[in-house]
Amino acid sequence: MWKRVRLSRLLKSPVTRTLILVVIVDLFILLLVAVSINSGLRMHEERAAISARNLNLLVTQDIAGEMDRIDSALQDLSEEFTAGMAGSPVEPGRAVQVLARWTPRLPMAVVLGFSDARGRMLATSETASPGQDISDRDYFRRLQDNPAQGMIISPPLQGKVSGKWALVMARAVRDGKGRLLGVVTVSVSIDWFLHKFENLEVGPHGAVVLRGDASRDFDLLVRYPAAGFVGQTKVSDTFRATIAADPRQGSYEAHAGADGILRRFSYRAVGDYPLITLVGLAPEDFLTAWRQDAMKLYGLGLAFVLLSAAGGYALIRSWRRLEQRSAELERSNTDLEQFAFVASHDLQTPLRAVASYAQLLERGYKGRLDAEADQYIGFLVDSAKRMSMLIRDLLDYSRVPMVGKSVGVSDLSNVARWAYEQLKSQFDEIGAQVEISGLPVVQADKIWMESLFLHLLENALRYRDTDHPLRVRLHACEDERSGWWRITCSDNGIGIDPCHHEKIFLIFQRLARDRFPEGTGIGLAYCRRLVSRYGGRMWVESELGQGARFHVTLPGEQAAH
């Protein structure tokens, strides 16, 4: 129970509420920063994935188009050689001419070749070269053994003289009965593929790869930038598992075995050929901009947290100083109220004695002394009475700050009638008309509302225009949106010059002192101070000779006080 009470007190403290608010705001800002950074990361990753797929599609379509072009050329060459060998073998010179004629149509080819059925190279696009044996080549044996075999793409082959790597595309030349007559080949340098790959924007740490498919055990054909060795079949388990699920296309993330760089790969099968292209983008590249943005957001978030912490600290210090000053002010007000009460009580005692003896002098010696002495005694009696009124009003004014600590509910209709009854004899004496109508129930203490209305009616009675019968009206209207009421006390008295509308609410400020000597100049200041304690306002609308309308706003029963 004690812990709950202590927690409740802590939560009511402005310092605690400020700390909680600062922490909540900081956490919210940090959450926004984290969400923004995470969203940026996802956006850059998705953008990189899309870029990798688009680049891979471009590469795949390009290579597939070149393979189709080579395959079509090989088919045409095969048919031409088949027709030329209808009755007898093709002469090497004739074969060189045919191959040389096709060379301009295949700019990617290093050399075109033609071998007989035994694997002996008869001619290339450059020259006749009898004697070179290709019967041990894998592509030749596969074409020899399988009459239905289409174009074959060889593993990477290294030139015995040039030392350069190339891929050989080969197709069989057969007669009408399917018997092997020879093999036509097109050699394409790996450098040709590298030239295509190096023009792609994959970043400093990106990679473009051409591999064989699963039927070739994923042998490495071309890689840009060059790494590892041509023909290697080592790939990551992630790649094998991903491509096993979808051999045609997909994406995965892995560290490349050749250089150990983490990349996001997009792979795609090259048409119906046993080839696969891969485009890998490194997070080290495509997340650079995201990291820069993240650092900026982190910096802004940290700056906000530091600024809010500094602002909260300054605000807490200000509140503590304000609390100290409020406590000092409350003690000062309490001491002042106590002083005013004691002073008024102690002053009233000798003042009553002065007034009593002055009245005794007036009754006992009036007319027995000279006129000047009678006048002095009258001044003494009047001053004593006025001093007594001033002390009483000043005490009432000093007690107003106590109002508002405990707010009750008052029916202003009853309050106004009570105040009227206190002054009824004076109103009747001058033939005044007082109208009370439509007054509401408000959130205010009855005793102070009685004092307020008594002052308002006394003020109307004191500053009446003697040339006309006094008419006083008390009425109210409600602001339905806020639930507050505006109470108006209007009269047809002497009125007030607009330049004095604020002056009359200042303490000890009175107008026409000679014409209206009664009063202490505290009444209206007291009324405004009393109304302000309930959050309301008090003001006047008036012109000289046009009467006055005093307005007061007070909260209704349902209004938020």
Distance CA(543)–CA(103), nearest Å, equals 113
Distance CA(360)–CA(357), nearest Å, equals 5
What's the mean pLDDT in 306-334?
78
Which CATH code fits 13-286?
3.30.450.20
Q: Which residue has the higher pLDDT, 483 or 171?
A: 171
Tens digit of pLDDT for each residue in 193-232? 998 898 889 999 999 999 999 999 999 999 998 877 888 8
Q: Token pair for residue 158?
A: 């290294």
Other Cβ atoms closer than 10 A to 475: 15
Domain limits of the chain?
13-286, 319-381, 406-555
Q: Are 33 and 297 in contact (CB under 8 A)?
A: yes
pTM: 0.57
Is residue 5 pLDDT above 50, yes or no? Answer: no
Q: What average pLDDT is seen over the chain?
A: 83
Percent over 90 (pLDDT), the chain:
34
Our CA angle for 380, 383, 387, nearest 5°, is 140
Tens digit of pLDDT for each residue in 503-553? 888 876 666 555 665 666 677 888 888 888 888 999 999 888 889 999 999
Strand 109-116 and strand 180-189: pairing?
antiparallel
Which CATH code fits 406-555?
3.30.565.10
For residue 50, the model assigns a pLDDT of 93
Confidence bin at 10 (pLDDT 50/70/90)? low
Would you state the torsion angle of the CA atoms of residues 302, 308, 312, 315, taken in this order, to the nearest 10 degrees? 140
Spatial CA neighbour of 463 closest among 360, 533, 542: 542
For residue 415, the model assigns a pLDDT of 93
Residue type, 364: G
Is residue 6 pLDDT above 70, yes or no? Answer: no
Distance CA(498)–CA(491), nearest Å, equals 16
Distance CA(332)–CA(458), nearest Å, equals 32
Residue type, 12: K
Is residue 100 pLDDT above 70, yes or no? Answer: yes
For residue 2, the model assigns a pLDDT of 42
Confidence bin at 468 (pLDDT 50/70/90)? confident
For residue 403, the model assigns a pLDDT of 45
Q: Which residue has the higher pLDDT, 102 or 227?
A: 102
